[in-house]
Amino acid sequence: MQRRITDVIRSLNQGEVVSYGDIAEVAGFPGRARLVGRLLAVGGQDLPWWRVVTASGRLIPGQESRQRRMLADEGVEVTLTRVVRSPSGRFAGQASPSRSRRTDT
């Protein structure tokens, strides 16, 4: 029952934007951001993939047009290439990826 990834993505609400790494971490796979990316790349059509961006706030390569439109429609401030701010989620207020990784705590 590893569908945690999809569950997490499905649980995203309107205007909530998070990064691949965040999803992976929340799902219980810290550092497995690429798995999330690949998952969406192949079968994420049933999921709100547009609420997922890179850790830098960049939109998904190749889907920028769609994603920008979807996010803008949900009240998220986005430019041609990245998310500026979202009402909720990781990019609420500031879009600065935390460097809390590496080096065990």
Partner DNA sequence: ATACTGACCACCA
Partner DNA sequence: GTGGTGGCCAGTA
Residue 10 near DNA by CB under 7 A:
no
Chain centroid offset of residue 26 CA: 12
Q: Does 40 help bind DNA (rule: CB under 7 A)?
A: yes
Smallest gap, in angstroms, from Cβ of residue 27 to DNA? 13
Q: Which is nearer to DNA, 3 or 99 (CB)?
A: 99
> Does 79 contact DNA by CB under 7 A?
no
CB atoms within 10 A of CB 94: 9
If one asks whether residue 70 binds DNA (CB under 7 A), the answer comes out as no
CA distance 96 to 26: 18
